[in-house]
Structure formats: structure tokens, C-alpha cells
Chains A and B, each alone.
Chain A
Amino acid sequence: MRTDAPVLSLRGATKRFGGLVAVNDLDFDVAEHEVMGLIGPNGSGKSTTLNLISGALPPTSGGIALRGTPIENLPAQEIARKGVARTFQLVRLLPSMSVLDNVRAGAVFGHRRRWGAEAETHALRMLKLVGLDRRAHAHTGELTYIDTKRVELARVLASDPEVLLLDEWLAGLNPTELEEGIALIRRLRDDGRTIVLVEHVMDAIRSLCDACVVMSSGAKIAEGTPDEVLSDPEVIRAYLGDDDDA
């Protein structure tokens, strides 16, 4: 496996909804073991970009490749199998199942497919990784908010993804939870996982990301390390300007 080639690359990715261009001619690469932050004001097309990568929406034009293989025209399940796994902006658990079964779903059907005892031990390992192993047999309805997020993360991790897409995974957490959450993602980063995260929490971006892509009105306006982009005047204008509009 070459390490110099990007794991994930977008070239000219575009998504139109009728007359609205939600994602406009977007290019970026994510290298192996890199944590890439996708940031920008509300409505700048970050979540839509994740939806394009994960196959929730087909791009109107442009290419998306996973280790050089085009995936832009594949349905979501194929993309998931090739190794792109995602969390959802609003946590989505499987309400009729136990915590363990939720995670097993990832282990059984994901990038690396397991079954039986192997899937179960793997799922338990992932629950331990996110710190929920003692609640494996709990019902999802009994969990606190951050624990539901943990379950979702464990489900995604259980599929052994090549790329992990986290859609505002830290949103809505209180300060203590936020600290735990950031620590958890840092651990994933230290394990060498490749991650794309859409995030609003600036502390998290500074402390977690190797690189950032800043979007505004669907287009990329800056790219670089967190410190570079966050001091970029155009980025500052995009954020503050949007605040004025709102």
C-alpha cells in the first residue's frame, strides 16, 4: 500500500439542488493517517460534501476517489463496503436493538465483514475503545446523549473503515463531555485512523486537525493547517460576514 497517494480525493465535486449550488467545484485530498477538518459557516455545504462522499447523495458532477478508485457513482452501501464510514449530524441509532447489536451492525456489514463470535468480540472491543463496554447490553433508550454518540462512533469504527467521516460529532455536548469527546477522537488519531470531520467547535479543530479545508457558499476558500486558515482574512470575513447576514 502506497502511503504517498491520498486515501480520499475530491476533484471538482459539485452538487446542485435545482438552482442552488450547494457544493461548487470542490477539490481536496486526505492523506493516510491524516485528520482533516472541514469547516465553514452554516449552510456552506460541509454536510452536503460528507453526503456526497458517503453516497447519501450523488454528485451532480465531478469525481470522488477512494485510493484512486472512483466512488462517486456508487450507491451508499457500496461506498460503505469499500471503507468509507460515517456518523450522522443527528445521531442515528437502531432503537429496537441493544448497544452491542448496534455496534455489531457495523462489524457485520462494513468494510471488513465479520460474523458470529468474531463480530461480537470485535464489537465489544470497539465499545471498550469508546468507553462503553460495560453498557453493552443496555437498551439504546437508556443512554445519555454523549453515550448515544459513542455508540454511533463505535458502530462506525467496527466496520474498520479506511476513512471515517464525522458529521459534527462534538456538537451539543456540554463542556465536560466535550473534553471527553475530544480526547476520544485524539485517541483515534493516535491510532493512525484517517478522519474527515465537519466541526464547529474551534478548540477541537485546533487540537485535532492536521489540515483544514474552509468552505463558504459551497466553495473552498482556504486550505492549510488550522492556524494558517483560521488567521486567513478571507476566512474571517466569511465567518463574520455570514454573521452579519444572519
Chain B
Amino acid sequence: MDILITGLFLGGTYALIAMGLNLQYGIARIMNLANGEMIVVGGFSAFWLYSSAQVSPLLTVFLVAPVAFLLNWLIYWIMLRPLVKRAKSRGQLEVDAILATFGLAFVSVGIMLAVFGGDYFSYSYLARPIRLLGDTYALNRATAFLAAVLICAAIYLWLNYSRPGMSIRAIAVSPESARLVGIDVPKLAALTFALGGAVTATGGALISMFFTLDASTGVIFTLKALVIVIMGGVGDVRGTIVAALLLGVLETFVAAVIDPGLTLAAAYLLFIVILLFRPQGLFGRRGT
């Protein structure tokens, strides 16, 4: 039972991170392999503000999100838009985006290593036990989960019921037709990319409350987020959440029962199974 709940707590935070990536890949069509670094940046900010000025990470989020939004918006216009423009095919854009965002990831890891060094950083915030259904859990994990749920719900509602949200979903389905009905595709793609970055960085700030990060942990998160996105289905918010929860539970189970060192291996196993049997994602329909 406690595995299930701990797993769900973890999965909730994963959902937030993967949601950021899914917005970027599903709508802006950029496979952002620097996603994990955005998490670390978010985590770093939370750590730094907490340890230097005792600012609660829950407040930091309100600073991190807009800054990350702006940063990702700039990244899209300066780095990625030229690639979108020059790409002759979807495949070429994919390769270019992969290489460019890998470059970005390594550059940011390099800069963080130079500025902060290679140390692990962690801080103790809300590290109190709480009792739930007869078992004890860490309060910070529960808080992060709650915040993640709120943000995921907000995004889901926004995408489904607001006008820009509707346009964004239209782009996800068919960029060409979206353009024909008067949707400014580049502008909204940039917006979604920025939003995805902001969501991811927020996830980073939340995750840093209970996760030890260092400058180069980003890639592990990128991998997990990618597995979740593919498992949940590209552009599918509901699938992302379910897949993230599934991964959170699986990882917690493997860590508790077999070996904590095997969490990524477990994620991969799940990935292989999905690739072999449902490459279109959990809820995706087979391509027509």
C-alpha cells in the first residue's frame, strides 16, 4: 500500500515534468532533449533561494515559472525557429532539433558545472512525516504531489476549454489545417514551447524538495520524461498523467523490492514493452 502511494506521489511530479515535454513535442514539434536541464535549473533556483534566503520552494515556483517561460520563449525564437524554417521534412527537423537541444543540454550542464561545481545539492524543507491511511509519508513529497496535481489540472482545463488552448490542440492535430483557419502557428508554437519549459522548471523546483540533484542529473529526467511521453501518447495530456503515475509506481516498486539502482532499467523495460505492443501510446489510436 505504501509503495502505491509513494509511487503515486512520485508519479505526480513526473507527470508535471513529462507534461512540459509533451507540450513541447506534441505541439511545437520539438523533441527537447534539454528538458532535464530545465528541471535542474528549476531545482537549483529553489535550492539557492531556500538556502540563502529561506524562501519556500512553493513561493520560488512563482518566480521560476515566468523566468523559465521567457527563457524558453527566447530559445524557441532564437535557436529552434530557424531550424523549423529550414527543415525540408519532418524527419530533418527531428534530427536537427535533437542535435540542437542536445547541444543546449550539454552547454547548460557545462555552465552549471563551471558556476556551481559538480556537487550534489539538497536541502531540507517540510521533511516531516505525515500519517496517511495508517502509513507515514514525507510531507514534502505529498506537497509536491498536490502542487503537481493542481498544475496538471489547470493545464488540462486550459487546453480543453480556453480559446488559445483549443488552437493549440488544433495545431497538435494538423499544423497545416490550423494555419488555414487563421491560427498563427509559429506564435502559438513558441508560446507552447515556453509554457512547456515553465511547467518543466516548476516541476524541477518541486522535485528538489525531496530529490538530490546535481548539475548532470538532467539527462536521467529527460529520459524518464521521454518514456512517459511516448507511453502516454504524443500530445495526449490524459495519457501523460496515467503513464507518469504508472512509471512512478513501477519505479517505487522496483526500488523497494529489487534494487534502488534499477529504477531506470525498470523504466526502460516498460518502454520496450510499450514500443513492441503499443507504439502509438496507451490511449493512442493506431495511425491511419
Contact = CB atoms under 8 A, between A and B. Distances in A.
Direct contact of A and B (CB under 8 A): yes
Interface size band for A: under 10
A97 to B, nearest CB: 15
A82 B288 CA distance: 25
Interface in B237-288: 285, 288
Nearest to B285: A18
Contacts of A17: 288
B73 to A, nearest CB: 34
Nearest to B89: A95
B273 to A, nearest CB: 24
A113 to B, nearest CB: 28
A228 B89 CA distance: 44
B280 to A, nearest CB: 13
Interface string A13-27: 000011000000000
A18 B288 CA distance: 9
A18 B285 CA distance: 9
A241 B280 CA distance: 38
Contacts of B285: 18
A17 B287 CA distance: 9
A115 B288 CA distance: 36
A17 B288 CA distance: 6
B230 to A, nearest CB: 22
Contacts of B288: 17-18
A17 B285 CA distance: 10
Nearest to A20: B288
Nearest to A15: B288
Nearest to A57: B288
B29 to A, nearest CB: 21
Contacts of A18: 285, 288
Interface in B153-171: none
Nearest to A17: B288
A114 B285 CA distance: 40
Nearest to B88: A95
A18 B284 CA distance: 13
A163 to B, nearest CB: 25
Interface in A17-69: 17-18
Nearest to A95: B88
Interface string B179-222: 00000000000000000000000000000000000000000000
Interface in B75-132: none
Nearest to B288: A17
A17 B286 CA distance: 10
A37 B285 CA distance: 34
A141 to B, nearest CB: 11
Interface in A59-90: none
A80 B52 CA distance: 68
A81 to B, nearest CB: 24
Nearest to A22: B288
B108 to A, nearest CB: 34
A146 B285 CA distance: 38
A169 B285 CA distance: 32
3 contacts: A17-B288, A18-B285, A18-B288
A-B complex: 3 closest residue pairs judged by Cβ atoms: A17-B288, A18-B288, A18-B285
